[in-house]
Amino acid sequence: MCPKKFLSQSFLKSKGIAKKIVGALSLTKEDTVLEIGPGTGILTQFLVEQAGKVIVVEKDRDLVRLIGDKFKNSKNIIIYEGDILKQDIKELSSGLRLKLISNLPYSISKKFLYLLLENRELFSYAVLTLQREVAQRLIAQKDKKQHGLLSIMYQCFCNTEILFPIPPSFFYPRPKVSSLVVRIEILSNPRYQIDDYKSFFSFIKTCFASRRKMLKNIVGAKGELGKKRAEDLIPEELVNLWRMGQRNRSIGDG
């Protein structure tokens, strides 16, 4: 199967690495796993052996046919043709809490990471192959260049661990960027008191939209916090700043 450049396809070649990626999910026959973009099925072959149920979403019709033929004798796999960014993930899950795995197409990785957070109640764990720069953003601390919206959101709602790198030579065609495999535990409850996801997301996005501006000029923060920039604060400080704004609005509305 020839990779399609317009779909940003790059297929993993190493079965050893594939086995290691799947092993990071610690699957049992009680688990239902969602795989996004299975490619030629190098991860899928291990998933059908280890999981109770495998749900596959693939955008490329040719690969849907290939996967369907390759796993036609497997009774625990369901294959959907479609774009994961446009799928109803709740409908796909059938009410089950899923484990997630993907060598994500790098062109959609950031969009999907936000989609994952929006649907976090549907997932327990995810093991993802990401470009190095995006993976490092998930765990970036204050004062680091990568520290931003993605960092804050994932550190509030997840535990993220970088597991191991995959050299470009292990993919076909060879990508121009390096890859890291990450394991994400989606917390049942956020690490801090956040009771309105959309409001918090919008607030953090606003804070980092003008990285060099002080917070007093962006969100009207008072005192010492107002003299700082969003990139200078840890997640808990930003949560507290958001909650303070929520309380002030409530008082004003009252």
Q: What integer pLDDT is reported at residue 1 of this predicted model?
A: 57
Structural domain spans, the chain: 5-186, 197-253
Q: What integer pLDDT is reported at residue 166 of this predicted model?
A: 96
Q: How many other CB atoms are there within 10 angstroms of residue 251's CB atom?
A: 8
Q: State the average pLDDT over residues 93-104.
A: 93
Phi-psi region of 95 (alpha: psi -120 to 50; beta: other; left: phi over 0): left
CA-closest candidate to residue 55, choices 15, 94, 12, 7: 94
* Mean per-residue pLDDT over the chain, rounded: 92
Q: Which two tokens stand for residue 50?
A: 């280890």
Phi-psi region of 35 (alpha: psi -120 to 50; beta: other; left: phi over 0): beta
Q: State the average pLDDT over residues 111-124.
A: 97
Q: What integer pLDDT is reported at residue 185 of this predicted model?
A: 98
Q: State the average pLDDT over residues 219-225.
A: 89
The yes-or-no verdict on residue 134 having pLDDT over 90 is yes
Name the pTM for this structure. 0.93
Q: Which two tokens stand for residue 128?
A: 């993802």
Helix (H, G, I), strand (E, B) or coil at 184: strand
Position 144 confidence tier, pLDDT thresholds 50, 70, 90: confident
Expressed in percent and rounded to 5, the helix, strand and coil fractions of the chain are 45, 20, 35
User: In the block, which residue shows the tokens 């239902």?
Assistant: 32
Position 7 confidence tier, pLDDT thresholds 50, 70, 90: low
Q: What integer pLDDT is reported at residue 172 of this predicted model?
A: 84
Q: What integer pLDDT is reported at residue 117 of this predicted model?
A: 97
DSSP sequence for 205-217 = HHHHHTTTS-HHH
CATH architecture for the domain at 5-186: 3-Layer(aba) Sandwich (3.40)
Question: Which of the residue ranges 11-25, 37-51, 165-179 would you say has the lowest mean pLDDT?
Answer: 165-179
Question: Which of the residue ranges 152-161, 203-212, 244-253 would you say has the lowest mean pLDDT?
Answer: 244-253
Position 212 confidence tier, pLDDT thresholds 50, 70, 90: confident
Q: Is residue 209 exposed (0-12), middle (13-18) or buried (19+ Cβ within 10 Å)?
A: exposed
CATH architecture for the domain at 197-253: Orthogonal Bundle (1.10)
User: In the block, which residue shows the tokens 């190493």?
Assistant: 14
Q: What integer pLDDT is reported at residue 246 of this predicted model?
A: 84
Peptide bond into 173 cis (omega under 30): yes
List, in sequence order, the alpha helices (H) in the chain: 15-23, 44-50, 61-70, 89-93, 109-118, 132-139, 149-157, 197-209, 215-218, 223-226, 235-253
User: In the block, which residue shows the tokens 């190095």?
Assistant: 132
The yes-or-no verdict on residue 253 having pLDDT over 60 is no
User: For residues 70 and 142, which has the higher predicted lDDT (pLDDT)?
Assistant: 70
Position 4 confidence tier, pLDDT thresholds 50, 70, 90: low
Q: What integer pLDDT is reported at residue 2 of this predicted model?
A: 56
Q: Is residue 195 exposed (0-12), middle (13-18) or buried (19+ Cβ within 10 Å)?
A: exposed
The yes-or-no verdict on residue 63 having pLDDT over 60 is yes
Position 86 confidence tier, pLDDT thresholds 50, 70, 90: very high
Residue partners of 193: CB distance under 8 A and separation at least 6: 239, 243
